[in-house]
Amino acid sequence: MRDAKARARDETLLENAENLVLAKAEADRRVKAKEEELRGDIEHYKAMHVAECRRRRKLHNTLVDMRGAIRVFCRVRPILSHEKGRKLASRNAVTFPKGSLDEMTLSQDEEGVMKRRFDFDRVFRPASTQTEVFEEVRPLVHSVLDGYNATVFAYGQTGSGKTHTMEGPQSDRGVNFRAIAELFSEGAARAPRMRY
């Protein structure tokens, strides 16, 4: 009787083992079929992604072109601490129309009578941050990576803040450092699709 029970148990175990082998083979077949199906989907979505990136770049560069090949920004620096005691520093030589981001006025005489009004693509007031200035330049960085040429330069008299805007202090970098960092980070982000 013990042999019959042992033989029945062994047959059941053998049958279960055979069923497991068959089930594993079926599962492996299904997984392989799904992988093949997904591989086709993945290639399809990769192609769609590349096409979408191409369209996005084209639209981005069209927008940059529409804004103008040459854009002029003006950044007005704040009055420095050593200038505050001077008579001229007590009055505002530069004023900004309320709500305007693209114009400023210069007044020459002591009464503040407007002598000149200037329009720019963007005027940065004395309280503007390095980040705000760089945000106007950032689209050019992306255009450079798309193969366009771009130049950013600062012009103005000595002491007007060109070096501060372009280089900035260690704690708050300017346009140059931020643009280079953006070039490398965006280039790394595009690395799977593009090589520079």
Which residue did the predictor score with more confidence, 78 or 82? 78
Of 49-53, 112-116, 127-131, the least confident: 112-116
Query: How far is the C-alpha of 111 from the C-alpha of 99, rounded, in Å?
Result: 23
According to the model, what pLDDT value does residue 92 have? 66
According to the model, what pLDDT value does residue 184 have? 93
Per-residue pLDDT tens for 32-73?
A: 888 888 887 888 888 887 888 788 888 877 877 777 778 889
| Burial of residue 165, with CB atoms counted within 10 A of its CB: 0-12 exposed, 13-18 middle, 19 or more buried | buried
Query: How far is the C-alpha of 63 from the C-alpha of 59, rounded, in Å?
Result: 6
pLDDT of 181 > 90? The answer is yes
Mean of the pLDDT values across residues 134-156? Answer: 88
Structure tokens, 9: 């148990």
According to the model, what pLDDT value does residue 131 have? 96
